[in-house]
Structure 1
Amino acid sequence: MSTLEVHGARLYYETHGSGPLMVVISGAPGVADVYRAVVQHLGEHHTVAVYDRRGFSRSRLDGPQDYDRRLETDADDVERLIKHLGLGPAIVFGASSGATVALELLVRHPSVVRTLIPYEPPALRLLPDGGKWADFFSEVYDVYRREGIEPAMKTFRERTFAPSDQQHMARAPRNDANAAYWFEHELRQYPPVALDLTALAAHADRIVPAAGRASQGYPCYQAAVGLARYLAKDVVELPGGHIGFVTDASRFAAELARLLAGTMF
C-alpha cells in the first residue's frame, strides 16, 4: 500500500509492471479496483499507476475541500502523482468522469502528459441535447435524495448505458459511502462542465478519443464523437460498452495495448 499526501487528502495508489508510465483514472466509483482485470495485461509493457480519487475508499480527506474547484483539484492530484512517481510524462487513460479529469489535466498541466486517452467522457456540452441530459442527471439526484441509492442508480443506468453495462452494474457490489460521495459531488457537477476546448485543440496531437463499441447511441459515446469532431480526429472504438474494461477486460486490455503501441509519441 502506498499513499501520497496532497492538499486536503491522502491518495492511495498502486503501481504494477514496468516500462513507460501509464496513469489510469477511474470514474464512478472512483477506485483503482475497477481496473484490476486490465492492469496485469497493461503492466507487461508499462508501469501502470492506479489510484483511488480523493474522497473515495482509501484516499481519505484530511482537510477542508473546495468543492467549487473539485475538478481542478482532481486534475492537480494526478499531476502530483505523476511527478511523485518520477517517470513522466505519462500516458493517461481516464474513463467516464475520469476522462473529464484527464482532459482537465491536459489543460492545466500539459507537461506531464505524453498521450491522453479520454474514454467516454460525460461531457454534455458536446451533445446537441446536452441540456436534456443535465436535467435527467438532476432528476436522478432527486431520486437519490428521496428514495435512496439503489433506486437512483437503477434510474441512472437504465437510461444512460448499454445493456451489457447495465447487467454488470446491477450485480456489482456497492460501496454506499462512495456512491453517496459521487451523488453529492460529481453526478450533477462534472457532466455539464465547460471544458477548455481551445486549449485541448492546441494539444490535439496527444489526444486519442475513445469509446466502447457497445455504447453507440448512448450519451457518453456521443460525447466522445463530439470531442473527436472538435479535434478533427476519429473515435477509437474498444470492446464492450462504458465499462468494457470490466465486462470485456481481456479483449479491452489487448486492444488498448495495441493502440498504445501505435500512439506513443
Structure 2
Amino acid sequence: MTTHPTDTASAGSLTVPGARLHYEVRGEGPLIVLAGAPMDAAAFAPLAELLATDHTVLTTDPRGINRSSLDDPEQESTPPLRADDLARLIAHVGSGPAVAVGSSGGAVSVLALVQTRPDLVHTVVAHEPPLIELLEDRERLRAGTEDLIATYLAGDVTRAWKKFFAQADIAMPEPLIEQMFGGERDPRQVADERRWFAHEMRASTYWRPDPAALRTAATRVLVGVGDDSAGQLCDRTSRALARSLGTEATTFPGGHTGFVENPDVFAARLRAVVRGD
C-alpha cells in the first residue's frame, strides 16, 4: 500500500471477479464505508479525513470508474455486483461489521449489500437513492431516462445533461451546463461519465429493493435526504423508500452532494445519526 502525501489515505488494489478495485483506508477504529456510484473515492476524501479521527474509513472507486479497472469494459454495473465488491472490500480490510454510507447510486449499492450480506453492516445510511421504481410516475421517468441516455450516446452531451437535470428537478442554468460539459474536458472524467450513462444509470435507477428483507434484517437501515433537496426527484424516491420501510427519512445538511459541499457539517450530522442521537 502507498500513502499519499496530501492526506492520510493508504491506497490499495483488490482483485475481485471481473475487476480490480482501487480502495483507500484512513484512520483507526470502528469501520465506516463511504460508497458512491458513479462518484469515486476522491469525492469522499474530505469527509473521510474528518471521520478518520476516530474511525477506520474505507472509500473506493466503483468498478469501471477511474482507477478500478474491468476485464470487460462493456460490463453492466449492477447494484448486486457493486454490493459484492463492497462485501469483499469490507472482508479484506477487516474491522467490521461496518457502518456503510452510500450516496446516490452508492446508496443503492449499500441497500443491495444489506439484502445479501447483512452480517457485514450493522448500520446503513442510504443517502438519496434514485429508486424511480418506487414512484407512481415510474413509467414517465423510465421513458425520460431512456431518452436522455440515447441523447448522450448519440453525442449530444450538453443536451443529455440538460435533460438529466430537468428530470432530477434540479435547477441548473443552461449556460452553466454548457460551461461544465461543453468545452475541453478531462478524458478520465469523460470516460467515467460515458460508462455511467451507458452501463450504470439504468441498473441503479431501475433496481427494486426488497422492503421486507430490509425491514427484517438485523442491520439498522436509515434513509437520508438533504435539507436542500425538497421537491427534487431523489427527495421523492428517498421518502418513498422510507415509507416502504415504515420509517421516516433522516435529514442531512445540504442537497444531493451535501457531503462534498460542506463536509464538516455533514460529518457532524452523520456522527449524530450513527450514534442514534
Q: Calculate the TM-score normalised by the size of structure 2.
A: 0.86
Letter in 2 for 1:226: A
User: Larger Cα Rg: Structure 1 or Structure 2?
Assistant: 2
Residue 127 of structure 1, aligned match among 131, 135, 144: 135
> Greater CA deviation, 123-132 or 176-185?
123-132
Q: Does 1:249 align with 2:263?
A: yes
Aligned length: 261
Q: How far did 1:65 drift? A: 7.0
Counterparts of 1:251 and 1:135 in 2: how far apart (Å)? 37
Aligned with 1:20 (options 25, 30, 54): 30
User: Are residue 139 (structure 1) and residue 147 (structure 2) matched?
Assistant: yes
Distance change (3 Å), C-alpha of 1:129 and 1:170: farther
225, 230, 239: which one aligns with 2:239: 225
| Larger helix fraction of residues | 1
Counterpart CA distance in 1 for 2:204 and 2:274 is 27
- Structure 2 match to 1:43: 52
Give 1:149's aligned residue. Answer: 157
Instruction: Kindly report which structure 2 residues correspond to 1:189-204, keeping only aligned pairs within 5 A, or say none.
Output: 189-203=203-217
User: Which 5+ residue runs of structure 1 have no aligned equivalent?
Assistant: none
Note the C-alpha offset of 1:111.
0.7
Q: Distance in 2 between matches of 1:198 and 1:169?
A: 43
Q: Do the aligned partners of residues 121 and 159 (structure 1) sit closer, same or farther apart at CA in structure 2, a change above 3 Å counting?
A: same
What is the deviation of 1:201?
1.6
Name which of structure 1's ranges 78-87 and 131-140 shifts more when overlaid on structure 2.
131-140
1:75 corresponds to which residue?
83
Q: Contact between 1:121 and 1:223, CA under 8 Å: does it hold in 2? A: yes
Gaps of at least 5 residues in structure 2 are 1-10
RMSD, matched Cα? 2.4
Q: Is the 8 A contact 1:92 1:115 kept in 2?
A: yes
Q: Contact (CA 8 Å) 1:162, 1:214: kept in 2 or not?
A: no
Deviation string, structure 1 residues 191-238 (Cα, Å, up to 9, x no partner): 111222221121276101111111111111111111111111111111
- CA gap 1:164/1:113 in 2 versus in 1, 3 angstroms: farther
For 1:193, what is the secondary structure of its paired residue? Answer: coil
* 2:192 aligned partner, one-letter code: N
Amino acid at match of 1:245: F
Instruction: Show the counterpart of 1:10.
Output: 20
Shift, 1:161, TM fit: 4.7
The share of aligned pairs that are identical, in percent, is 33
Counterpart secondary structure, 1:75:
helix
Alpha-carbon distance, 1:133 to partner: 1.4
Residues 1:118 and 2:126 are matched in the alignment: yes
The 1:165/1:256 distance shift into structure 2, 3 A limit, reads farther
TM-score (structure 1 length as normaliser): 0.90
Partner-residue secondary structure (3-state), 1:58 = coil
How far the C-alpha of 1:64 sits from its partner, in A, is 8.1
Contact preservation (8 Å) 2:118, 2:219: no
Counterpart position of 1:238: 252
Question: Closer, same or farther in 2 for the Cα pair 1:145/1:66, shift >3 Å?
Answer: closer
8 Å contact from structure 2 (residues 124, 219) kept in 1 = no
Cα distance between partner residues in 2 of 1:206 and 1:21: 15
CA distances 1:33-74 after superposition (whole Å, capped 9, x unpaired): 11122111111221110000010010011358763x832111
**1:165–1:8 Cα change, 3 Å:** farther
- Displacement of 1:148 after TM fit? 3.2
Q: Deviations over 1:93-147 (max 9, x none)?
A: 0011111111001101111011000001011121121221111111111110223
- After superposition, the Cα gap between the structure-2 partners of 1:164 and 1:144, relative to the gap in structure 1 and judged at 3 Å, is closer
